[in-house]
Amino acid sequence: MISVEEALTKILNSIQILGSEEKPLLDCLGQVLTEDVYSPFDVPPRDNSAMDGYAVKASNIKGASHKNPKVLKVVGEIAAGSVLDLKVEHRTAIRIMTGAFIPDGADVVVPFEDTDEIDRKEAALSNTEIGICASLAEGRNIRRRGEDISKGERVLKKGKLLCPADIGVLASLGKSVVSVVRRPLVGILATGNEVAEIDRPLPPGKIYNSNSYSLAAQVLQYGGIPKFLGVAPDDVEKLTAAVREGLECDILITSGGVSVGDYDVVKQVLAAEGNVSFWTVRMKPGKPLAFGMFKRSDGKEIPHLGLPGNPVSSMITFEVFARPAIFKMMGRNNLSKSNITAVMEDSIANTDQRRIFTRVAITRKNGKYFAHTTGPQGSGILSSMSKANGLAIIPENIRQLKPGTPVEVMMLDWEEVHD
């Protein structure tokens, strides 16, 4: 038996980061930048108003208050987006909207609520003058040119996993097309004579192919593009053809046919088509695992991960081995999940010193996390996986985990956007 770490290291050592693609900005969310991005200009491009109000000279409103307003002459109005060829001169004001560029001569914006504008309207007074009722210091309510990003600054680093704010930052630079590491195309092949497609009545003795769907959903969740390769029966010719089709992908994932007792067609085909190792990994569920490199006719090497057929085993081995492989292909720096520490509420027996990934639901009480198992833990019981939002990791060396013991939990439903 090999450890989880040993298996993962071997897999990751054979995985290469994929090439880049140029795509419209929004399509790049969740992908990794392949270039440093520098700003061609200042953002914002000029000093502009943070409030709706009056742009004035601070020196003209010293000592202003509601009791003692400083009355200035209003010489114009600027809305956001328009440019006005007007200056604020001594004892004049320009009415200004949020986002509008600050006119020359002004050094402060007084918001409407610090003026007598409403009183003047109510009293039907002329709007050619305004009373300023607060003594604001120079620079107040002005957003400075370049205060967000300055010209020439490196805004985003090569290798950054793009989050929604990054998409916004790139848009603010006018970048409509971005170069990112492309998403892997992940071939998904189910194997087994007993496995039937889900879009027809279930023939006697068969079970529906749930694995291809749960695995494809995981591929999507983690940023890959799933490609269904159907179900291959335990037949050398058909399986060989399906595996070869899978080599058009960036990685091939199969489910089933890798356990010790399996009818050895899958193993035979995999061994004939590639350089495959069959492992027993010290984990539960998911002990049997195959990993290999397949050489395509064009010489390119495609990694293959053979997951066990039991529905929970295939999902958990995906989480532990396939997800980090996909992350690595996508150029992500952090290949691990968000793990938390939670107090285990149930007792768990570890009979053969494997690492157990227990399906748990996490609750939070008084700022502390608690984990309880979601039902029977058989590797075919997918419903207890669907009730779980985490996998509690019970170490190999623990024989009996007592309730109340803190455990590490790999969260399944936490969105990881930061590297």
Binding site for Mg ion (CB under 5 A): 192, 256-257, 309
CA neighbor of 326 nearest in space, from 89, 34, 18: 18
Sign of CA dihedral 294, 295, 297, 300: positive
Of Mg ion, ligand AMP, none, which one does residue 306 interact with (CB within 5 to 8 Å by kind)? none
Nearer to ligand AMP by Cβ, of 148 and 264: the residue is 264
Name the β-bridge partners of 368: 365
As measured in angstroms, the least distance from the Cβ of 206 to Mg ion is 12
As measured in angstroms, the least distance from the Cβ of 192 to Mg ion is 4
Nearer to ligand AMP by Cβ, of 166 and 262: the residue is 262
Rounded distance between C-alpha atoms, residue 100 and residue 76, angstroms: 13
Rounded distance between C-alpha atoms, residue 359 and residue 99, angstroms: 52
Q: What is the number of the residue whose Cβ is closest to ligand AMP?
A: 309
Nearer to ligand AMP by Cβ, of 60 and 255: the residue is 255
Burial environment of residue 28 by CB neighbours within 10 A (0 to 12, 13 to 18, 19 or more): buried
Which three-class secondary structure state does DSSP give residue 121?
helix
Of Mg ion, ligand AMP, none, which one does residue 207 interact with (CB within 5 to 8 Å by kind)? ligand AMP
As measured in angstroms, the least distance from the Cβ of 220 to ligand AMP is 17
For binding to ligand AMP (CB under 6 A), which residues are involved?
190, 192, 194-195, 207, 209-212, 255-257, 259, 262, 308-311, 380
Omega before residue 69 within 30° of 0, cis? no
Nearer to Mg ion by Cβ, of 287 and 332: the residue is 287
As measured in angstroms, the least distance from the Cβ of 401 to Mg ion is 32
Q: Say what the alpha-carbon torsion angle 345, 351, 352, 356 is, to the nearest 10 degrees.
A: -20
Omega before residue 184 within 30° of 0, cis? no
Nearer to Mg ion by Cβ, of 38 and 263: the residue is 263
Nearer to Mg ion by Cβ, of 102 and 195: the residue is 195
As measured in angstroms, the least distance from the Cβ of 311 to ligand AMP is 5
Of Mg ion, ligand AMP, none, which one does residue 211 interact with (CB within 5 to 8 Å by kind)? ligand AMP
Rounded distance between C-alpha atoms, residue 385 and residue 170, angstroms: 39
CB 186 within 8 A of CB 224: yes
As measured in angstroms, the least distance from the Cβ of 188 to ligand AMP is 9
